[in-house]
């Protein structure tokens, strides 16, 4: 289920602008399926790396650590940002923001694509 949230986008300018976030709330079943898919991809990479001479001593354990890490991180992610759009308070350019991925409701640092200044995205 996708919900839209209004956030504030602040920068060097004293007045913050509005930003819209589309957040996909993941239910338990979708979260587990997503986590298992990521785990499977990393595990498959580990199996493929078994056949690489000498490098498999490092690649296989690294891929297995990656598989477990992806499994844990994806199980913990309860919501994902699928789209973020706002106006830079400093230069006034309307743009899509680079904040895709897990969302925990905490302030997030982003940068403007036009003026390259650091911005902060906060939930109201």
Is there a contact between 42 and 70 (Cβ–Cβ < 8 Å)? yes
List of residues 6+ apart from 52 with CB closer than 8 A: 59
List of residues 6+ apart from 53 with CB closer than 8 A: none
The string of pLDDT tens digits covering residues 39-77 is 999 999 999 999 999 999 999 999 999 999 999 999 999
What percent helix, strand, coil does the chain show, rounded to 5? 35, 35, 30
Query: What is the sign, positive or negative, of the torsion defined by CA atoms of 28, 4, 95, 7?
Result: negative
* pTM of the shown model: 0.77
């Amino acid at each position: 289920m996708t919900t839209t949230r209004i956030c504030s986008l602040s920068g060097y300018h004293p007045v913050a602008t509005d930003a819209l976030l589309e957040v996909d709330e993941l239910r338990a079943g979708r979260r587990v399926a997503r986590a298992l898919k990521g785990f499977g991809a990393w595990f498959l990479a580990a199996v493929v790396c078994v056949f690489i001479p000498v490098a498999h001593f490092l690649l296989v354990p690294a891929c297995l650590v990656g598989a477990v890490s992806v499994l844990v991180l994806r199980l913990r992610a309860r919501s994902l940002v699928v789209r973020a759009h706002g106006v830079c308070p400093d230069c006034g350019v309307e743009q899509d923001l680079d904040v895709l991925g897990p969302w925990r409701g905490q302030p997030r640092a982003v940068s403007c694509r036009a003026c390259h200044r650091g911005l902060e995205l906060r939930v109201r």
